[in-house]
Amino acid sequence: MEHAHFFKRSAVYKVEGDDVSIVDVQANNVLTPLDPWMARVILLADGQHTIAQLIQHMTSQYEEGAPENLVETIESVITRLTESDAIELTTRPSLLPYYLRLPIDEQDPKEATQLMIQDGFIQAKQ
């Protein structure tokens, strides 16, 4: 895995307390709960940071030193999230659109829906 790549959310998400879920906005906002590792990566996937920066950040969270398999764990999480289209890897930083930048409950529903339709993220309901 190329650690110089940037990682960004490509799915709408919801935060409820310590729980983070992916929201399927095409299927009546069906929630898919994420395990804590995936949740952490989704929350940090702002399109402005590289995988190397993520690894550095996560390593710094362990006062006694990071576990030996930390890099492999992060790479596995990123692989699973990219395979499920929850995040995307890019070679350059990018700005997230409004509807991916904030948790769904912090968005204006009308504005978010209009922007999603405009961007082709979702189809307009007939």
State the CATH number of the domain containing residue 84: 3.90.930
Q: What is the pLDDT of residue 124?
A: 83
Residue 85 lies in a domain: yes
Instruction: Look up the domain containing 103 and give its range.
Output: 6-119
pLDDT over 70 at 109, yes or no: yes
Residue 67 lies in a domain: yes
Residue 98 lies in a domain: yes
Residue 92 lies in a domain: yes
Residue 124 lies in a domain: no
Strand partners, 79: none
Q: What is the pLDDT of residue 126?
A: 66
Counting residues of the chain whose pLDDT is more than 90, the rounded percentage is: 94
Residue 79 lies in a domain: yes
- pTM for the model stands at 0.93
**Per DSSP, which regions of 4-91 are E strands?**
6-9, 12-16, 19-24, 30-33, 46-50, 87-90
State the chain's maximal CA–CA distance in angstroms. Answer: 56
Residue 1 lies in a domain: no
Query: Average pLDDT for residues 69-86, to the nearest whole number?
Result: 97
Count of domains observed in the chain:
1
Closest CA to 45 of 60, 61, 34: 34
**Per DSSP, which regions of the chain are E strands?**
6-9, 12-16, 19-24, 30-33, 46-50, 87-90
Residue 39 lies in a domain: yes
Counting residues of the chain whose pLDDT is more than 70, the rounded percentage is: 99
Per-residue model confidence as pLDDT tens digits over 2-17: 999 999 999 999 999 9
Give CA–CA dist 74/59, Å, rounded: 10
